[in-house]
């Protein structure tokens, strides 16, 4: 959550969940909860429609946020692959974008494991409070090769 100013408070978290539910009702895709096999909440991953007036125009984007203790176990890759499969097969999407900050090497590694294609021509910058956030763009399409996902140790 470093890119987003830290953890959300309860009201912000509830509002985000409401947005996700509304996105599913309208578009039939959204972010999903990610849990361990034991049922512990680890974060979320999935596809959302872009926000209104996004610099890239209307599109679908994939994202993930996991608690730090869940990093490094393949959860983000596994959940994102499932979300992309759902988006391309059940929902019929033909393209999904992924974006992250240039210093977010962990998310960039997930994008590489998912075999997303880097598209620097779509990189964008937006005001984010007192700073400017620079987004680097990757693209997923149904024709991309299937990634090799290592089995989850947990």
Q: How far apart are CA 41 and CA 34, in angstroms?
A: 6
Residue 154 located in a structural domain: no
pLDDT digits (tens, 9 = 90+) for 14-62: 888 888 888 889 999 999 999 999 999 999 999 999 999 999 999 999 9
Residue 7 located in a structural domain: yes
Residue 147 located in a structural domain: no
Residue 134 located in a structural domain: yes
Domain with 97, as residue range(s), is 2-140
DSSP secondary structure letters along 18-57: HHHHHHHHHHS--EEEEE-TT--EEEEEEEEEPPTT-TT-
Task: Using pLDDT thresholds of 50, 70 and 90, give the confidence band for residue 144.
Answer: low
pTM of the predicted structure, to 2 decimals: 0.84
The enclosing domain of 26 has a CATH number of 3.40.630.30
Residue 15 located in a structural domain: yes
**pLDDT tops 50 at residue 140:** yes
């Amino acid at each position: 959550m470093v890119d987003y100013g830290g953890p959300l408070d309860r009201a912000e978290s509830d509002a985000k969940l409401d947005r996700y539910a509304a996105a599913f009702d309208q578009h039939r895709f959204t972010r999903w909860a990610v849990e361990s096999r034991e049922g512990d909440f680890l974060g979320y991953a999935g596809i959302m429609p872009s926000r209104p007036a996004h610099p890239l125009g209307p599109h679908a984007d994939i994202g993930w946020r996991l608690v730090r203790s869940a990093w490094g176990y393949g959860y983000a890759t596994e959940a994102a692959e499932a979300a992309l499969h759902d988006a391309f097969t059940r929902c019929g999407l033909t393209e999904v974008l992924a974006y992250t900050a240039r210093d977010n090497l962990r998310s960039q590694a997930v994008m590489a494991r998912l075999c997303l294609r880097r598209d620097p021509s779509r990189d964008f910058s937006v005001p984010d409070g007192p700073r400017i956030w620079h987004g680097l763009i990757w693209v997923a399409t149904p024709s991309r090769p299937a990634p090799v996902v290592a089995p989850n140790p947990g």
